[in-house]
Chain A
């Protein structure tokens, strides 16, 4: 269809052509292989979930909720709304609370739907993992290293880890003298990327002006930065000790494993459910995924309090970053019938199936289709294999398969 024509494709939705699909599958394979190597099992949750899963305080921020695709189902006369899954962690937590128990290592490749203006993508694919039923720094480290492993397998260069802790911002907001309602509003704004909140908090805490600048305005590198923050803030804000200690453990282990990481206090994302360390992965300047600990989420969903953490990698972004590799798939061999009569077509179809049974991908040549590798059926039943410019007569399917690189 010419570019000038009005597209029949919905705004914000995308088609993937074979080369793009091939890159997408490479991401998916690398991710799932890394997950399997670390003991994670694949799950799938429904595309449609109840809206109320996502509306409780501590799940999705109001701004995020305003972008979900919610509607009344065909049996929604009661007014109970459903949504196209806007993210995959909450549904996976729901699945766990309803169907599983004990430590569970789960992974998935799923699409999520969120409204975005103009031509921005409204359907994205996430490669995600959730570690539910076990928590603390060991779980956080397992996830960060799994993410780095999956990214490393794609050959896109070293990924950078940016770390934060949900407890840092929450402790500062509480100290700023905001009402619980005000704290919640400020946190929502911060999650939605409104960094002007930081200035407002700094104005309310003039005695902490310099330390807060160090915390919010400086994106530090590793344990050195963390030591500076502890020195500057802990005397005045001792409630920061638990989150800073957890971060120190993560940084120490990661540095010990030769992984550098950056620290950034306001690591904003529109998910309220994070309660502990949070992290993001970058390749160059590209944000390719992230996650964190969400120990309170299962309780909010009506289950018993359960430690949990997880992350997602953005499959669309990673597929776009991959070079257009040579396809793993060899172009199909075309089988050309001797004629269009029933006998000729049946013989060609039998030959095609015989080749497939010997590992050769093949299809009937339709409407003058041509390919580098073809098998021409002769009227007398003999076969002529063409490999580019070369033609060679063969006796039967086994010899044809052998010549085409399959099993004879």
Chain B
């Protein structure tokens, strides 16, 4: 179905089901229970899962398939956000024109940046993209303040024209909508559980599914095969008389548009845009998500994005008091030591956890979570197989 073989169709359906049921899956604990703080099923976080999932899928198309490590992807995210907010300010609070402009604009930027950067490969490509991203970041803070509103960030205001919308007489800032407001939520009470179904999340989820489907098609297409060939041996491709540039440029632009789409959605969920989204540490985060999940795999980047955003949220919430509660079964001196060490990694220390995680993954599990899962599955099947197949 949809131009996929049977196995992929099944895979796609699983992804669709998981995405649509996310509000239920991520809320395994009853709302009043002590474990409720580990629930991730609230709209703001779920939206971020979907949006950063899209970003990581797009990044993975470039890095996973061609091996070109871009360190400037956050720039497209930022450009997308700015474009979307401007559409909200000038044209309409409907999200569709905003997202379209975000994609088109970031695609154009990707075309220019990619055209120049892709003349080099390897570390030079990384540095060129980094240079472009830093340039956009610095300019957004300085010369382009009329467009970007500098450090304050670009926000909606009551005096915005919004030529397509009816005049806003409510006296409060309008909310992005797609006929229904993006922050409209519906609480579903089932026994002790509460599930929040949010319009914004479902918009992001549907777009994320489409994005995932497209990336699947690209992975399975001759175009995707060509990109993988470029990754494994670019020189040989050149010797066989093939110009690799159009292929890499095409995937760079696609990847940039994915990032722009993610930026546009971020703005649609919360209509403000700041330059810090373009900083190179933000680019590093995208790289981490992809690596953590598993670069070059379909599902990996999404898992990585979800994992990081979940940890970021949960780890930042935990504080020393909660840790004391957890480890209260230990003898006091040990408890204090454990809590002291633990406290360095939670709350403010989330960045430290991120750094350590980054290192551990790159050192021990270069293939990311997906590879880890495969290894475990392999070991598992080996254990069960030993009875049937003789040792080699």
Partners in one complex: no
Interface residues of A (CB under 8 A from B): none
